[in-house]
Chains A and B, each alone.
Chain A
Amino acid sequence: MKSAAATPPYTLNHPRWYRKRVSTYWWLLRWEYLRFVLREISSVFIAIFVVEMLFQIYALSRGPEAYVAFLNFLKNPFVIALNIISFFFVVFHSITWFNLSARAMTIRVGGKKVPGFMISGPNFVAWFVISVAIAWLLLRA
């Protein structure tokens, strides 16, 4: 674009226009914005869960003693509290992710748009089935 230097890509200041600064706390002013920020923050807790699991596998590879030490670390009340918070964020993250996936994808069958719940629904069903299967594997003993 040739005239890019002459016309900046934003609205120039006009002495008679009133412009309001966006508050630093804009994300606290509406529930919809707060929900969005919580959704974004949930990725941090997903990362915590993943790192924790990698350390668990690493401890397992180093033998029974290391694994018991790691389990003792998990029994720390702070770690338990963090894991409980993480769990809720991971659930929130998964639900919002599946719901958004339906809106980010347009799948057409025979020229007709597949409704959103047909895309997010199977994700939720798969999530539930896999969770039940893992719970059964862990708890049957």
Chain B
Amino acid sequence: MADTIKLEVSRYSPETDAAPHFQSFEVPYRKDWVVLDALNYIKDKQDGSLTYRWSCRMGICGSCGMLVNGEPKLTCATFLADYAPAPVRVEPLRNFPVIRDLVIAMNDFMRKLQKMKPWLIRKEEKPVSEGEYLQSPAQLEAFKQYSMCINCMLCYAACPVYGLDPLFSGPAAIALAQRYNLDSRDQGAKDRFPVLSQHDSIWGCTFVGECTRVCPKHVDPAGAIQQYKLTAALDWVKSVVMPWGGK
């Protein structure tokens, strides 16, 4: 077993560089080290100017998403041992503007997520004195999978549609809209429908399915989008067949 492993890290300094370039670092190779450990080692011991986002290092915060050998990954859950002895290439997430080194601008995702109204919408809030909104295990199961999303944006980096069409709402935002649509406590499906049923939203998706493959939390955004397409199509059929009903 080799003592060290080579990391090729994408560097971009907005002050001096016109385009990113790769810089190589030799870091100790340890079986229990993930890519994020190696980046932290570089920042501590070799080059303090290396810039990247991270926080919890346990797959919950969704900050450390990067491309590892071209594949969108949470670097806190990607072991060096899976790549050794070959060098490991670390790049910022695809399809996003790069601010510096491995840090991307996420403004676009945040705005798109907000447009989906990802919170419980009630026609009338029940006063606290009347108690909580009860939910059965089956009702929880209906949306629980989508609530696992940690907003890491790996699905956006994997999605060629988002790369080609910056207006596309994208996988996570739609999956999170579904998370609330399918929640028995929510009454906002009608409010989200005009945003979701647009061409830039669900109908922009061509079901490449890569979002689901790279999702570290098994949210299955591609499934969520197709299921909402079915809902929207049925809604349209209903409005044609029964223009008077359903309002």
Interface residues of A (CB under 8 A from B): 7, 9-11, 14, 16-20, 22, 26-27, 30, 32-33, 36, 40, 100, 103-106, 108, 111-113
Contact = CB atoms under 8 A, between A and B. Distances in A.
Given A32-B209, A100-B226, A105-B227, 16 more contacts: A9-B167, A10-B167, A11-B107, A14-B97, A20-B94, A20-B98, A26-B164, A27-B160, A33-B160, A36-B160, A100-B207, A103-B220, A103-B222, A104-B223, A104-B229, A111-B141
B133 to A, nearest CB: 18
Interface residues of B, number: 40
Contacts of A111: 137-138, 141
Interface in B195-209: 200, 206-209
B227 A17 contact: no
Interface string B23-67: 000000000000000000000000000000000000000000000
B203 to A, nearest CB: 14
Interface of B: 12, 14-15, 17, 19-20, 70, 94-95, 97-99, 105, 107-108, 111, 137-138, 141-142, 160, 163-164, 166-167, 200, 206-210, 212-213, 220, 222-223, 226-227, 229-230
Contacts of A112: 138, 141
Contact of A113 (B70, B108, B141): B141
Give the top 5 A-B pairs by smallest Cβ distance, nearest first.
A104-B226, A111-B138, A16-B14, A17-B97, A18-B98
